[in-house]
Amino acid sequence: METNTNNIHAIKPLAALHPDQALIRVYGDLNDFLPLSLRNTWFPRPCRGRETVKNLIETCGVPHPEIGALFLDGRPVDFDELVQPGVSVEAFPIGSAPETPIALRPPLTDVRFVLDAHLGRLAAYLRMLGYDCLYRNDAHDAELAQLAHAEQRILLTRDLGLLKRSIVIYGAFVREVIPARQIVEVMRRFNLAPAPTVFQRCMRCNSLTTPVSKAEIDHLLEPKTRQYFDTFRRCPACGKIYWQGSHYARMQALLECAVREGERLQAGR
């Protein structure tokens, strides 16, 4: 769902608020995190003037890395602004947020990812696209959050609690559950195209592979691979060998389909 930014501040309801309440409204894809009854409308929330707008919005279910802009009574604010009773709070998603002079986070200088244990196949697809993508199926939430913070990586997760951790700066909740759809979602969300290192990252460990002569690895090849292929790459970290066999053609077709679908969806915005 897209945000209509032609009139970004919807009219507040006229009903009186309780003295200890604020009015909340979220827009666009942020509604995914609300109960159906609270979507695309104003709703009251308890507020005693001692909590930040970041914490208030997150108590509604919206993780802060998904937010692109915040307004209090029509005034742009950052995450640390204290919310007083009686005010209106509006939250807009990244990608369709109105431009404001207040940035909620520094701009990313490099697009790199870290993924939780539920997204192993998505991690492989991102590596195929050439993106630096950390993934371990035994990593703990605290470790993932710390990695995302320390290395300024985008945290991709299916765990809302993990995404709400305060040290996470960049991140997204992956809505889709099918990996082939997840890669389209992520490409669209972050405007990704295949990186210059497409098909050059090791799908097993994320390291960049390097060309290797056939003679050097001849003793490691299966007979049919040795017979039909002459060009190889090898991961210097884990030793995995890659060549452009039928698996390569299948992966290339999948990524080309993902790119086309992402472009189609982007054009339809």
Summarised one tens digit per residue, pLDDT across range 28-46 is: 999 999 999 999 999 999 9
Domain boundary (105, 128, 162) is at 105
- 10, 57: one domain: yes
Alpha-carbon distance 104 to 77, whole Å? 8
What's the average model confidence in pLDDT over 188-216? 93
Among left, alpha and beta (phi > 0; psi -120 to 50; other), residue 137 is alpha
- 120, 252: one domain: yes
Please give the radius of gyration of the chain, using alpha carbons only, rounded to the nearest integer: 22
The reply to whether 38 falls in a domain is yes
The reply to whether 205 falls in a domain is no
What's the average model confidence in pLDDT over 100-127? 95
Higher pLDDT pick, 220 / 49: 220
Total number of domains in the chain:
3
- 68, 145: one domain: no
- 169, 263: one domain: yes
pTM value is 0.88
- 241, 255: one domain: no
Domain boundary (105, 124, 157) is at 105
Alpha-carbon distance 98 to 54, whole Å? 18
- 100, 157: one domain: no
CATH number at residue 88: 3.10.20.30
- 62, 195: one domain: no
Domain boundary (48, 78, 105) is at 105
Task: Answer yes or no: are the C-beta atoms of 23 and 41 closer than 8 Å.
Answer: no
State both tokens at 2. 């897209």
State both tokens at 49. 């003037």
Say if residue 136 is exposed, middle or buried (CB neighbours under 10 Å; 0-12, 13-18, 19+): middle
pLDDT value of residue 13: 57
- 75, 141: one domain: no
pLDDT value of residue 99: 93
Q: Which helix (H) or strand (E) holds 242?
A: strand 241-242
pLDDT one-digit tens code per residue, 57-73: 999 999 999 999 999 99
- In 3D space, the residue among 186, 28, 19, 56 whose CA is nearest the CA of residue 113 turns out to be 186
The reply to whether 263 falls in a domain is yes
State both tokens at 218. 């001849």
- 142, 261: one domain: yes
- Phi, psi torsion values for 92, nearest 5 degrees: -115, 145
- In 3D space, the residue among 255, 212, 215, 219 whose CA is nearest the CA of residue 235 turns out to be 212
- 185, 241: one domain: no
Q: pLDDT band for position 8 (50/70/90)?
A: low
Q: How remote is the C-alpha of 102 from its chain's centroid?
A: 21
Q: pLDDT band for position 3 (50/70/90)?
A: very low
- 140, 256: one domain: yes
Instruction: Give me the domain span that covers residue 53.
Output: 1-105
Tell me the average pLDDT of the chain.
90
Q: pLDDT band for position 223 (50/70/90)?
A: very high
Alpha-carbon distance 41 to 35, whole Å? 11
What's the average model confidence in pLDDT over 3-8? 48
